């Protein structure tokens, strides 16, 4: 139990004393995971819309693939990205392995199926009559899609949050493709793993607590923005 | 209703811009040094002890290179060298290192330093191993079926432990023999909680405050030496290998300034050095000095 209290105290000490290394790690975690989430939204929302409204032969197959992708363990995504980025691999010439960019790529791959799957479910739950009505009123396809998206904004945002939550807290891929290099690719989760393996459990937990606070802050901002003006 | 969607889109765009704006510092310190970064594959024990946090910045300053330190098990570190995914390897798994050299996948293999392994266990010492030789200790632990925690992760320490069992003529199995599958610090903590024996390098044992119920029971035998070698990787292992950078690191770590840093490391914190510098010595010379 002592470790838990030590960890809470340590977390607040690191945050309040403005420990440079800790803040640098927090900044890097946020930057990498927000970028990955944003990319996953840009790529995943159209896929979600296509799966919700599109009528094409392989739709069910793609949907099943996306739903399976939601459960892929981060370490598997990390391994695949690592092998692709190896110097001897197909993308080795880019020299991206052990850089934040490699971590963004891996985390985007992890978040993408979550965003696509959840947004397709969100859009699919909007009353189909709405689109019919919009089109009857003379609205174009894009215009009516926009209205449907507005109607589903809550679950769509939840899709984004789920993506962010998944990537900011994963450690397997971050460790594999990032290498946990101090000052370059060390993020909150990999720092926690390192401290735990050193036996510094209170410090490891402190990083975990900071991670929770961070996820909470991001979700709070998104929720407030999203709920504003909602009755 | 629409403006809220637009707000979300704006938020998304802002996040992307933020990310793009901040994304430029990919390689950290490379801005200062134009040389290609060096990938150092090493073992978790050197990272967990904190030694690399001292050595790597000093080399970066002296050599003008950026180093990407990837700390993995010895097995994986040597494999990365063989595949040309690393430029230089710092490991403590002699058999695997010699295999790599024999396959022509290493340019040179040089002694860097040593520390030693210790067998630690509960103060009550149920298997009565205190002061015995390493092989006798392993036999007694097995005979008493006293709990023993193995790393079980193909690391240099794990390989060393398996070699000790082999020398003792014991095939460890049964409920008393457990594998943690984790690093040294975490394994010590588990042994501490379970009143179990384990094999540890001395540095990590000294550095792990949370395992202080464990006592050193067997130490100081020449067969417990843990010697680290540095291997620089030849260009032939892959066209993108930074052979010059790897050689620069290997040359530096056996140079007098680096060896002095190794000698001084840990003295202030633990009252004794964690590693003994050995540049230029052979394994036999190190064993004789014990």
**Which positions ≥6 away from A180 have C-beta within 8 Å?**
A174, A186, A190, A191, A193, A194, B70, B71
**Which positions ≥6 away from B178 have C-beta within 8 Å?**
B147, B148, B149, B150, B194, B196
- The enclosing domain of B250 has a CATH number of 3.40.190.10
Ordered mean pLDDT values, 10 residues apiece, chain B (290 residues): 57 55 43 75 84 93 93 88 95 92 96 95 95 95 96 87 95 94 86 95 84 93 92 95 96 97 90 89 81
Residues of A within 8 A of B188 (CB-CB) are 199
d(CA A35, CA A29): 10
Work out the angle at residue B100's Cα, subtended by the Cα atoms of residues B99 and B103, and round it to the nearest 5 degrees: 85
**B77 within domain boundaries:** yes
pLDDT-derived band at A151, boundaries 50, 70, 90: confident
In order, the DSSP letters of B139-206 are: HHHHHHT--EEE--S--HHHHHHHHHHHHHT----STTEEE--S-HHHHHHHHHHHT-EEEEEHHHHH
**B10 within domain boundaries:** no
pLDDT computed for residue A1 by the predictor: 66
Assigned token pair, B240: 């993108």
**B8 within domain boundaries:** no
Assigned token pair, B258: 């680096």
Mean pLDDT score of chain A, rounded to an integer?
89
Pairing state between β B108-122 and B276-277 = antiparallel
B154 & B95 share domain:
no
Q: What is the DSSP letter of A86?
A: S
Distance from CA of B73 to the nearest CA of A (A): 13
Number of domains in chain B: 2
pLDDT computed for residue B16 by the predictor: 55
**B248 within domain boundaries:** yes
B 215-254: CB under 8 A from A: 238-241
B82 & B169 share domain:
no
**B198 within domain boundaries:** yes
Region of residue A66 (left: phi > 0; alpha: psi -120 to 50; beta: else): alpha
Domain boundary among B224, B248, B272: B224
Distance from CA of A40 to the nearest CA of B (A): 11
* A119 reaches B (C-beta below 8 A): no
Among all residues of chain A, which has the CA nearest to that of B20?
A35
Residues of A within 8 A of B19 (CB-CB) are 31, 34-35, 38, 104
d(CA B278, CA B112): 5
Assigned token pair, B156: 């240099």
Among all residues of chain B, which has the CA nearest to that of A183?
B28
Residues of B within 8 A of A179 (CB-CB) are 68-70
Nearest to B85 among A42, A86, A199 (CB): A86
Longest dimension (CA), chain B: 81
Which of the residues A199, A202, A230 would you substitute to probe the B interface, choosing the one with the greatest number of B C-beta atoms within 10 Å? A199
d(CA B218, CA B138): 10
**B11 within domain boundaries:** no
Is the pTM here over 0.90, yes or no?
Answer: no
B267 & B205 share domain:
no
Residues of B within 8 A of A143 (CB-CB) are none
pLDDT tens sequence across A185-208: 999 999 998 888 777 778 889 999
B233 & B110 share domain:
yes
pLDDT tens sequence across A27-79: 999 999 999 999 999 999 999 999 998 888 889 899 999 999 998 899 999 99
pLDDT computed for residue B6 by the predictor: 61
d(CA B212, CA B189): 9
**B15 within domain boundaries:** no
pLDDT computed for residue B24 by the predictor: 42
Distance from CA of A57 to the nearest CA of B (A): 31
Share of chain A above pLDDT 70, in %: 98
* B182 reaches A (C-beta below 8 A): yes
pLDDT computed for residue B120 by the predictor: 97
Number of domains in chain A: 1
Question: Could you list the residue range(s) of the whole structural domain that residue B70 is in?
Answer: 35-114+227-289
Task: State whether B5 and A150 contact (CB < 8 Å).
Answer: yes
Task: State whether A182 and B44 contact (CB < 8 Å).
Answer: no
In order, the DSSP letters of B237-272 are: G-TT--HHHHHHHHHHHTSHHHHHHHHHTTHHHHSS
The SS3 assignment for B234 reads: coil
Assigned token pair, B184: 């040294």
Tell me how crowded residue B86 is: count the other CB atoms within 10 A of its CB: 31
ipTM: 0.75
B184 & B281 share domain:
no
pLDDT-derived band at A14, boundaries 50, 70, 90: confident
Q: Which of A114-118, A132-136, A211-215 is most confident?
A: A114-118
Residues of A within 8 A of B68 (CB-CB) are 98, 179, 181, 184
Task: State whether B16 and A87 contact (CB < 8 Å).
Answer: no
* B8 reaches A (C-beta below 8 A): yes
Domain boundary among B224, B240, B271: B224
Domain boundary among B209, B224, B239: B224
**Which positions ≥6 away from A101 have C-beta within 8 Å?**
B23, B26
Dihedral sign, Cα of residue A143, residue A148, residue A153, residue A156: negative
3-state helix, strand, coil split of chain B in percent (to 5) is 50, 20, 30
- The enclosing domain of A20 has a CATH number of 1.10.3720.10
Question: Could you list the residue range(s) of the whole structural domain that residue A191 is in?
Answer: 2-227
Q: What is the DSSP letter of B283?
A: H
Task: State whether B185 and A226 contact (CB < 8 Å).
Answer: no
B218 & B123 share domain:
yes
Nearest to B27 among A35, A99, A150 (CB): A99
Mean pLDDT of A7-33: 90
Work out the angle at residue A74's Cα, subtended by the Cα atoms of residues A68 and A76, and round it to the nearest 5 degrees: 80
Mean pLDDT of A153-180: 92
B127 & B91 share domain:
no
Assigned token pair, B199: 């094999």
pLDDT tens sequence across B224-279: 998 999 999 999 999 999 999 999 999 999 999 999 999 999 888 888 888 999 99
**B14 within domain boundaries:** no
* B41 reaches A (C-beta below 8 A): no
């Amino acid at each position: 139990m002592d470790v838990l209290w030590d960890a809470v105290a340590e977390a607040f000490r690191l945050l309040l004393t403005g420990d440079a290394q800790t803040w640098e790690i927090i900044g890097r975690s946020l930057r990498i995971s927000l970028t990955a989430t944003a990319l996953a939204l840009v790529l995943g929302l159209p896929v979600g819309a296509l799966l919700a409204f599109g009528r094409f032969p392989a739709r069910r197959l793609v949907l099943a693939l996306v739903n399976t992708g939601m459960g892929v363990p981060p370490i598997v995504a990390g391994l695949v990205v690592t092998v692709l980025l190896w110097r001897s691999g197909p993308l080795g010439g880019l020299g991206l392995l052990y850089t934040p960019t490699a971590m963004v790529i891996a985390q985007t791959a992890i978040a993408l199926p979550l965003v696509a799957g959840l947004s397709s479910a969100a859009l699919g739950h909007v009353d189909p009559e709405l689109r019919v009505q919009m089109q009857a009123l003379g609205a174009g396809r894009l215009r009516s899609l926009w209205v449907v998206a507005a109607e589903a904004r809550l679950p769509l945002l939840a899709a984004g949050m789920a993506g962010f939550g998944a990537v900011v807290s994963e450690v397997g891929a971050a460790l594999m493709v990032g290498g946990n290099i101090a000052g370059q690719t060390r993020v909150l989760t990999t720092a926690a793993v390192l401290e735990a393996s050193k036996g510094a459990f209170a410090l490891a937990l402190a990083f975990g607590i900071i991670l929770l606070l961070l996820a909470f802050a991001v979700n709070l901002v998104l929720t407030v923005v999203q709920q504003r003006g909602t009755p | 209703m629409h403006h809220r969607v637009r707000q979300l889109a704006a938020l998304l765009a802002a996040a992307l811009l933020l990310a793009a704006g901040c994304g430029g510092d990919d390689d950290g310190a490379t801005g200062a040094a134009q040389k290609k970064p060096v990938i150092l594959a090493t073992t978790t024990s050197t990272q967990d002890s904190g030694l690399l946090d001292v050595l790597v910045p000093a080399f970066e300053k002296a050599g003008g290179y950026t180093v990407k330190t990837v700390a993995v098990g010895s097995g994986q570190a040597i494999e990365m060298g063989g595949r040309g995914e690393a430029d230089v390897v710092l490991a403590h798994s002699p058999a695997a290192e010699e295999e790599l050299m024999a396959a022509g996948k290493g340019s040179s293999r040089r002694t860097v330093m040593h520390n030693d392994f210790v067998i630690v266990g509960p103060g009550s010492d149920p298997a009565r191993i205190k002061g015995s030789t390493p092989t006798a200790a392993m036999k007694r632990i097995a005979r008493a079926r006293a709990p023993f925690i193995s790393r079980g992760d193909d690391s240099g320490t794990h390989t060393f432990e398996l070699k000790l069992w082999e020398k003792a003529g014991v095939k460890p199995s049964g409920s008393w023999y457990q594998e943690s599958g984790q690093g040294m610090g975490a394994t010590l903590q588990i042994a501490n909680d379970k009143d179990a024996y384990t094999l540890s390098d001395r540095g990590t044992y000294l550095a792990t405050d949370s395992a202080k119920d464990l006592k050193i029971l067997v130490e100081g035998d020449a067969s417990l030496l843990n010697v680290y070698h540095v291997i620089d990787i030849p260009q032939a292992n892959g066209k993108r290998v930074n052979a010059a950078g790897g050689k620069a690191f290997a040359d530096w770590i056996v140079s007098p300034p680096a060896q002095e840093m190794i000698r001084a490391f840990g003295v202030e914190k633990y009252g004794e050095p964690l590693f003994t510098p050995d540049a230029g010595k052979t394994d036999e010379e190190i064993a004789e000095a014990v």
